[in-house]
Amino acid sequence: MATAYYSTVLEWPAQDVWEIIRDFNNYPVWVRGAAESEIEGGKSGSTVGAIRNALYQGQRTRQRLLAQSDVERSQTYEFCDAPTLPVTGFRATLRVTPVVDGDRAFVEWWATFDCEPLQRAELTETLRIRFGNWLQSLRESMGSDSAKLPALAGSAAV
């Protein structure tokens, strides 16, 4: 089993950051390159079992929300179809923890997966870079107009 991991500190309260990430359908609101997202079957974006059908950089991907906790401010998901990378058993978790000093947020994103041993280092680094880029786009989204972000959630559907 391989693990890819990235973490950062954002200059907003953890609860504010969680409010953006919490809705599994908010992908286009805070992930640069995500053009659209729809939760299949009429479920909400906070329902465990919800399937997000998203268009990211021209590629369609379907992911299932496996766990969500408002107490821990975390969500775990997996791919429904073949992953976009040559991995199996992929599970990713995104978690937001309060940083008391300065009322900031510590955000972690990690994934566990299996792959060919010779590709482990490359795939781990690829995911680490992607997680970092996506969290940077979250930072930029929140910095551009954080007061409007939760209201945009409804506009993320296809």
Task: Give dist(CA 82, CA 132) in Å, integer.
Answer: 23
- Nearest 5°: the CA angle 109, 146, 55 is 55
Give the residue from 124, 125, 99, 109 showing the smallest Cα distance to 30: 109
63 SS3 class: strand
Summarised one tens digit per residue, pLDDT across range 31-78 is: 999 999 999 999 999 999 999 999 999 999 999 999 999 999 999 999
Q: What is the pLDDT of residues 93-109, one digit of tens each?
A: 999 999 999 999 999 99
The residues pairing with 74 across neighbouring beta strands, listed in sequence order, are 69, 95
What pLDDT is stored for residue 156 in this prediction? 31
